[in-house]
Structure 1
Amino acid sequence: MFIYLVYTTLTIIAVFIDQFFFKHYANMRQILILIGTIFLEPILYHPINTLSYLKGYTQFLFRRRQKWGAMPRKGFEISS
């Protein structure tokens, strides 16, 4: 929980510093959406990212090859 609070605090400070100096966001609604995303990112995005990382790492360790299948080139058709 401590890490989560440190992460959110530092990110919110960075957003406010960025807004103070560069004014990237047009209105307060955009800033509030960004702050909401700050709180949801560690809960929603990071577990998916970690699972994908672990899946790829185990496939690498056990030398499982990905099979993409044949992907022949089609080129561009020139229409007259």
Structure 2
Amino acid sequence: MHELSVVQNLLKILEKLRKERAIKSFLKINLTVNPFSCLDEDNINFTFSALTKGQDAYKDAKIYIRRTDNPSSKEFILDDVEIEV
């Protein structure tokens, strides 16, 4: 499952941010993905929910995906997050 490795890497980034900036919870996570990526917003959110079940920092979080027009872009880029402090 490709989404699993992407979400695991995303969670590493979010956890680092959460510790560095004393973030209480994440509400909205915006990603930009390569136009040829097979990543699907529903599957990403399903995997994200499964991996973060029982973690208050992620209980209200939703991931939104936008596809870039640049085929040479990275697989995914964390654009921004909406947080609660």
TM-score range, shorter chain: 0.3 to 0.5
- TM-score, normalised to structure 1's length? 0.36
- Which protein shows a greater Rg? 1
Q: Which has the higher contact order (CA 8 A, sep 6+)?
A: 2
Q: Which has the higher helix share?
A: 1
- TM-score, normalised to structure 2's length? 0.35
